[in-house]
Amino acid sequence: MARRIRAKGLAAGRTAAQIAEEIHEACEPQFGTTKIKGHRLSHGIALADVIEQVRALFERDEKPPPGIGETLLSAYESGLKRPGPEYLHYLCSVYRVEPKSLGYDGPCICGHGHRMPGVVRSETIDAIEIDRPRDVWVPASSTEPTDEAGEEHENVMRRTLLRLLRGDTSLKLDAQVIGAAEGIRRRMDEMLVSSSVSAAMLDQWEDATLAFGRQYTTTAPLRLLCDVLLELSAVRAAMSRRQPIDLQERLCRMAAQLAGLSGMIMINLGDHRLARSFFRTGRTAADETGDRALRAWVTAREALVPLYYGDAREALNLAKKSRDLAGQTSCAAQAMAPVVEARALAMISGTDSKKEIVDQAKKALLRARNAFTHMKAHEQEDVAFGYTEKQLYFYQGDVLTKLGQTLEAEVVLGQALDKYSDHILDQTLIRLDQAQCRLIEGDVGEALKIGTAALMKLTDEYRTELVMRPALQLEQSVKAREPNHPDLPDFQSQLYKPQAAPVGEGSNGA
């Protein structure tokens, strides 16, 4: 049947894409023919032909041979599996159509069309350009208003995500990614100050938001940022149209959570300016919900920016503001805010702490532990939108370290490390606190060994400013005490280890 439809279509001058639609419409009711299979049949080729074309495209783009074979392609065509972002891009390139034509929602990860000449090669994915290419194809059926700047911001995140999926660990938070992130955030701000999605779609977005929170401890920051910002952009698009009050409130809640999570990731990546901006957006969205717990959570998370990068006194003020916002509401912020308050007090006082400062900080930690016991069970397990026991131990140990209470600190830090099976960032910070404890006690050699072992566990994508700053502080403290210590060079070799070459570069092509 497909062969007859193809022959008639070619005789009538129809395109392969048009013939594919006719094959799908005619064969799907009787044979269950999927859209993606319809495209192969419209070209009159076998599974092996498609595989060879995909392999040729991989070879052209100087990439390792793909793992796709006839069995996997057959699974795609039967609907048993869905191609991942990279394979979907190359299948679209083979058939010169967009994902929707193959039966898949959403744009291709490359952010460009596949119908026009000159936009299929992967160089268009890797190109770092601010201006949007003139030959980008936009589906004529799109009901969204044209927004070239917004689409390009999303394309930047898609291109970055694709390179990360391809194993490029050299990517950093560069000016283009920062510009795209800021653009998405600004457009969300515009919607919040200016502003029909289905309840089922909202349920899916809420599930995705919670999933991103769970990935916060296990996914490299830049990779997670791409996913979160693309979701935030989708929520913004929904908010551009007036919704019923209950749906609008749910959208604002998701916007606050996604913006807050973006701010948290920006802290990890070391961009405190953009982190502040995202938290400000999160506060704007949270204010629209009237939810005290949500507003307090955003403010408590925002307090970490000055705690790590600015004025500890400002962090102390924000922590107190978060505590006031929470009021008597049992929530994560009631435990988080006192911990930030204690950490700020410890930073203000230093290790030569007066007894009253130590007492204030310990009282704040006691309030945090008490608040933690009253939190809901699901909040105690949520590392991003809640507050977990391992976080409580970690930050308690950090406070005691900064106060110079090394005996207590080492016990608590050991308990914290035992509870961490993921989140390499926090594990490294805990070990660097342990090293500081040993240094304060005068055991320079052990401090350097702990610090060296901590840095050896870090891969390039986790060597962010947030982690490297305390490592640099450890180096300076050791040099001030024993600049010629024999273990210092080993620590410095890990501290200043050169970054891996980008994929495809270097003498061995790795």
CA atoms within 13 A on the CB side of 404: 13
252 inside domain: yes
Helix ranges, 216-331 (H): 221-239, 245-269, 272-289, 292-302, 304-309, 312-326
Domain tally, the chain:
2
146 inside domain: no
Domain's final residue, options 242, 275, 290: 290
Query: Quick one: which of 423, 416, 376 has its CA closest to 396?
Result: 416
173 token code pair: 């938070």
Q: Helix axis angle, 406-419 relative to 389-402, nearest 10°?
A: 150
249 inside domain: yes
Q: Report the alpha-carbon angle 412-413-415, nearest 5.
A: 65
Burial (Cβ within 10 Å: 0-12, 13-18, ≥19) of residue 314? middle
164 inside domain: no
Query: Quick one: which of 149, 97, 93, 150 has its CA closest to 123?
Result: 93
Instruction: Identify the pLDDT of residue 148.
Output: 66
Domain that holds residue 250: 198-290
Mean pLDDT by groups of 10 residues along the chain of 510 residues: 92 90 91 93 92 91 86 87 86 90 82 53 36 32 48 85 84 86 84 66 86 88 92 88 82 96 93 93 93 96 91 93 92 95 86 76 94 94 93 93 92 92 85 95 95 92 86 94 94 85 37
CA atoms within 13 A on the CB side of 405: 21
Phi/psi at 69 (nearest 5 deg)? -135, -175
382 inside domain: no
7 inside domain: yes
Instruction: Identify the pLDDT of residue 122.
Output: 40
430 inside domain: no
Amino acid, res. 156: V
- Residue 482: alpha-carbon gap to chain centroid: 40
44 inside domain: yes
Domain's final residue, options 274, 290, 306: 290
pTM, 2 dp: 0.63
Instruction: Identify the pLDDT of residue 425.
Output: 85
Distances (CA, A) of 117 to 15, 57, 61, 141, 316: 16, 15, 16, 21, 57
Distances (CA, A) of 173 to 134, 166, 464: 26, 17, 10
Burial (Cβ within 10 Å: 0-12, 13-18, ≥19) of residue 63? middle
Domain's final residue, options 102, 119, 147: 102
Cβ proximity of 274 and 178 under 8 Å: yes
Instruction: Identify the pLDDT of residue 498.
Output: 81
